[in-house]
Amino acid sequence: MTSGKGKVGLVTGASSGIGRATAIALAREGWSLALTARREEELQATLEMCKAASATPFSGIVVKGDVTDEAFVKELFSTTVKHFGRLDMLFNNAGVSAPPTLTEDLELETFARVMNTNVIGPFLCTREAMRIFRSQKPKGGRIINNGSLSAHTPRPHSIAYTTSKHAISGLTKSIALDGRRDEITCTQVDIGNVYTSLSTGGSVGGDTGSDDKVLHIQPYGQKALEAIFDVVHVASQIASVAALPNSVTVLWLNVMATDMPFVGRG
């Protein structure tokens, strides 16, 4: 019996990267999934990959939209429950960053865009998930938030992204506390240098260096090659946490490249 059999999950930002890899890993474990993102074609591709990965007939839906839109988020969760009958897990994965920018040069529009996607979106999804978790029978559920090592230690010139991920830490702890009596658990996954378009596209200071390295700006002002690793290892860890009973909480989970300069960074 697969660990996710009979369980329903919702993955935001499922059109690529960590969201897509996690959806595939969950499908492989027997989960039924609602997949959402802003790009429908890429979402459909994720759905097909989930079908191919699942050892049993896969049950999944795609719902295109923007998690910063309150009306859409309400409809997303309503559609999920109407289709599957319940919800067991939410993976708050959708997120954006901004090009490395000096604080004094950062436009308010850019800062707000990052905060809306990385903080407002997860809050809206969390609120709807907790309403479902408390009302369904049996009640309870799990929320997994995509954090970052930037929730602990910033990179240079990343004030918007770093601020948003510090906010996710507060969201995670509040969910864990407020959901405790109803077996609503919460995990923050802090990921470092996983190979995705976000991590290697220069959005937070990264440039493609080689197949196993990425260039990142360092606190001393120069760029240096840092180790990266395959996203499948993040996905497998998230699927493992998702399989736990709601009586067990992993509050924080760190997954990073072994050679990444985080411990003692700077």
In whole angstroms, how far apart are CA 51 and each of 32, 84, 113, 158, 168? 10, 17, 33, 37, 31
Query: What integer is the mean pLDDT of 201-211?
Result: 49
| pLDDT value at 11 more than 70 | yes
| pLDDT value at 204 more than 50 | no
| pLDDT value at 92 more than 50 | yes
| pLDDT value at 265 more than 90 | no
211-235 pLDDT, tens per residue?
A: 577 788 788 788 888 888 899 999 9
59 in Cβ contact with 5 (< 8 Å): no
Query: For 130, what's the count of Cα atoms within 13 Å in the CB-facing half-sphere?
Result: 22
Q: What pLDDT shows up at residue 200?
A: 45
162 in Cβ contact with 154 (< 8 Å): yes
Mean pLDDT taken over the chain: 91
| 215 vs 207: CA distance, rounded Å | 5
**What DSSP designation does 205 have?**
S
107-150 pLDDT, tens per residue?
A: 999 999 999 999 999 999 999 999 999 999 999 999 999 999 99
Q: What pLDDT shows up at residue 105?
A: 97
| pLDDT value at 35 more than 90 | yes
Q: What pLDDT shows up at residue 218?
A: 82
Poorest-confidence range of 69-83, 100-114, 151-165, 190-204? 190-204
Q: What pLDDT shows up at residue 208?
A: 54
The number of beta carbons lying within 10 Å of the beta carbon of residue 45 is: 15
**What DSSP designation does 235 have?**
H
Query: What integer is the mean pLDDT of 30-35?
Result: 98
| 133 vs 89: CA distance, rounded Å | 9
Query: What integer is the mean pLDDT of 196-222?
Result: 62
| 134 vs 181: CA distance, rounded Å | 10
Query: For 14, what's the count of Cα atoms within 13 Å in the CB-facing half-sphere?
Result: 33
Q: How would residue 43 be classed by pLDDT, with cut points 50, 70 and 90?
A: very high
Q: How would residue 203 be classed by pLDDT, with cut points 50, 70 and 90?
A: very low
Tell me which of 84, 111, 133, 161 is the catalytic residue.
Answer: 161
169-190 pLDDT, tens per residue?
A: 999 999 999 999 999 999 999 9
**What DSSP designation does 229 have?**
B
Q: What pLDDT shows up at residue 79?
A: 98
Query: What integer is the mean pLDDT of 187-210?
Result: 66
Residue the block writes with tokens 């000096």: 102
What are the structural domains, with CATH classification, of the chain? 8-193+230-256 (3.40.50.720)
| 95 vs 143: CA distance, rounded Å | 16
- H or E stretch at 50: helix 40-53
| pLDDT value at 89 more than 70 | yes
Q: What pLDDT shows up at residue 201?
A: 43
For the sheet containing 141-146, what is the strand order? 60-64, 32-37, 8-12, 89-92, 141-146, 184-192, 252-256
In whole angstroms, how far apart are CA 99 and each of 62, 66, 104, 204? 30, 21, 14, 6
220 an active-site residue? no
The maximal CA–CA distance of the chain, rounded, in angstroms, is 55
Poorest-confidence range of 38-47, 93-102, 193-202? 193-202
- Count the residues in the chain: 266
